[in-house]
């Protein structure tokens, strides 16, 4: 957060093509508002093995011991591979099975030294039921395309397997209805980056408790993502909605989207090695008389923040199942509130 007594409009600064967060191009820091859905007793509790010994004979244990995950519809992608790597580091057992398109059926993918077999659409229910029977402590991790969200959730609900879903899009109302009706354990969040979720929660608290605090202020928003992301950032929209409640007049169509790799490197300051995977956000507020300015910024390079948050969600959900807590849909706010994250 930056305050300044002199006027400054960084997004359209003359004389310099670089944007303010370009000066921090080497930092490796980071999506819509979270919902606080509750209500939803499961038959099979997770079996958590909490003892192990290291070379000194002292008891030590990785947090994921006794938990198995199956990364579906995503182990062949960068996000899925990042999750598998993070889960493996946490001691979580990686089930060597995943799902993919018909053209990917039968393929074998190697991640973290593990050979993972990809099954096609026609095998999904039979394969998932078989894996769940063999690994009753199983938790499915879902990173797929938006159009697959509802079909996947209906499959997990039918089989009764708990899951963590970081996929965005789909019919969200239908998604929640299906999972609540099935009464299974799930963590659903379009934003798995814990620190970003905490920032969004803080913005919501500020908007709720101090409505109109920024009345009259003008807002400029810029966000930069990899070229494959065609729509505006859900995170940016969530933050903007908070500023709107704080009294700022702003239309979502005004968001400045940076998708050109050259601009991202030269103007925004995205490290070249992260052009294909990053999330840079900048929000600049200026007072009516231009004597005061505020700036909020959060930049993410790579996918580790989302992968680590996903694994924390898996550990959180496993604990809830072991303790026979409420069978319902949880979100990343619930995970944050639990504390004790790695």
Tell me the catalytic residues: 225, 229
Distinct helix (H) and strand (E) counts, the chain: 9, 14
Cα 203 from Cα 206, distance rounded (Å): 5
The two structure tokens encoding residue 120: 């096609």
Residue with tokens 């063999």: 134
């Amino acid at each position: 957060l930056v305050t300044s007594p002199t006027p400054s409009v960084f997004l359209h600064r003359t004389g310099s093509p670089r944007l303010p967060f370009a000066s921090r191009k080497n930092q490796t820091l980071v999506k819509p508002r979270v919902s606080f859905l509750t209500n939803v007793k499961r038959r099979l509790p997770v079996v958590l093995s909490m003892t192990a010994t290291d070379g000194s004979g002292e008891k030590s244990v990785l947090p994921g011991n006794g938990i198995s995950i199956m990364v579906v519809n995503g182990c062949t992608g960068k996000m899925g591979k990042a999750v598998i790597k993070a889960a493996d580091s946490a001691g979580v057992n990686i089930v060597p099975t995943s799902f993919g398109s018909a053209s990917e059926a039968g393929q074998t993918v190697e991640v973290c030294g593990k050979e993972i077999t990809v099954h096609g659409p026609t095998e999904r229910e039979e394969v998932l039921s078989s894996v769940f029977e063999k690994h009753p402590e199983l938790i499915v991790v879902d990173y797929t395309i938006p159009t697959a969200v509802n079909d996947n959730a209906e499959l997990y609900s039918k089989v009764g397997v708990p899951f963590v879903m970081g996929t965005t899009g789909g019919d969200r109302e239908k998604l929640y209805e299906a999972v609540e009706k099935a009464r299974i354990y799930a963590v659903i969040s379009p934003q798995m980056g814990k620190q970003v979720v905490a920032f969004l929660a803080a913005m919501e608290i500020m908007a709720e408790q101090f409505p109109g605090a920024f009345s009259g202020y003008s807002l400029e928003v810029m966000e930069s993502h990899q070229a494959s992301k065609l729509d505006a950032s859900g995170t940016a929209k969530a933050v903007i909605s908070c500023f709107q409640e704080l009294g700022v007049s702003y239309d979502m169509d005004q968001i400045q989207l940076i998708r050109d790799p050259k601009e991202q490197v030269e103007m925004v300051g995205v490290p070249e090695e992260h052009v294909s995977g990053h999330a840079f956000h900048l929000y600049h507020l200026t007072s009516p008389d231009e004597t005061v300015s505020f700036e909020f910024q959060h930049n993410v390079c790579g996918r580790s923040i989302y992968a680590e948050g996903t694994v924390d969600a898996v550990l959180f959900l496993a604990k809830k199942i072991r303790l026979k807590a409420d069978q319902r849909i949880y979100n990343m706010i619930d995970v944050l509130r639990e504390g004790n994250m790695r």
